[in-house]
Amino acid sequence: MTSSMVDIATDDGVCDAYLSRPDGAGPHRGVLFFPDGIGMRPRLYEMADRIAAAGYVTLVPNTFYRSGRAPLIENLEELLQLEDRSKLMEAIMPIAGQLRPADVVRDAQFYLDYLATIAPGPVGLTGYCMGAGLALRTAAAYPDRVVAAGGFHGGNLATDAPDSPHQVAGSVAAELYFGHADNDPSNSPEQVARLNAALDAAGVRYRAEVYEGAIHGYTMADTRVYSQAAEERHWTALFDLFARTLAA
């Protein structure tokens, strides 16, 4: 496995991204990895490397590149370990608040094109926290390219807003998997039910599970909400999804 930082030109500038590639000649399929709201950092690179070690070329774009190249937050490692997360939120929100999902979906064309130069063929997606919603939106926007999408501890997936992610369900052709956190104010049981209803109505192939006892952010080992059991459950589900859909 080899990894490097790469630059990808978009309509709005240059996105810095982390690329992890499996060993061997392949062929390998591509995976586009949407970060959580905390953004690019070593923990996400570790996760991308694990996906690459399983045989998939994995690209993690800095979705906040319009605000600057990563890292964007000073003393991030210290902030992540604070019991009081208010200081972390104070650092994140000025950056995350400027992000428009429509811009990320538009950017995804360039990420998918970049992956196609290394790993031709259908692509899988995975996303965490806000990245789960971005994965759902991207699957809907590029149904001819995306065959699988996983979303883990996603937030605000099925709100009352007219542009809520669940509204795009009718355009999804990919198989989906959602691993919802049991303790997640940003993704209530009512939202989970609304998302499932939208997917059912659209005839989408999907599986949605609530991880009992898991807190929002459960895959992120660099935070205090991390759950090893929930993280491993997520890997099993994600790799099962990719095995079904991304055979090279």
- Phi, psi at residue 97, to the nearest 5°? -65, -20
The sheet with strand 146-152 has its strands ordered as 2-10, 13-21, 56-61, 29-34, 123-128, 146-152, 175-183, 206-215
Whole-Å CA distances, 17 to 5, 27, 86, 172 = 6, 22, 28, 26
Paired tokens of 228? 């090893």
Please report the pLDDT score of residue 25 as a whole number: 84
| Statement: residue 226 has pLDDT above 80 | yes
The domain containing residue 99 runs over which residues? 2-245
Residue type, 8: I
Specify the number of domains making up the chain: 1
Query: Who has greater pLDDT, 125 or 79?
Result: 125
Percent share of the chain, pLDDT over 70: 100
Please report the pLDDT score of residue 77 as a whole number: 87
Kind plus residue range of the DSSP H or E element containing 244: helix 228-245
pLDDT digits (tens, 9 = 90+) for 50-99: 999 999 999 999 999 999 999 999 889 888 888 878 888 899 999 999 99
Determine contact, residues 148/112, Cβ cutoff 8 Å. Answer: no
Q: What is the mean pLDDT of residues 174-187?
A: 97
Query: Who has greater pLDDT, 89 or 166?
Result: 166
Query: Which residues are known catalytic residues?
Result: 129, 184, 216
Distance of CA 17 to the CA centre of its chain: 14
Kind plus residue range of the DSSP H or E element containing 179: strand 175-183
Q: Within 13 Å and on the Cβ side, how many CA atoms surround 24? A: 11
| Statement: residue 248 has pLDDT above 80 | no
- Please give the model's pTM, rounded to 2 decimal places: 0.97
Q: What's the CATH number where 188 sits?
A: 3.40.50.1820
Number of H helices, E strands in the chain: 7, 8
CB-CB neighbours of 200 under 10 Å = 11
Residue type, 178: F
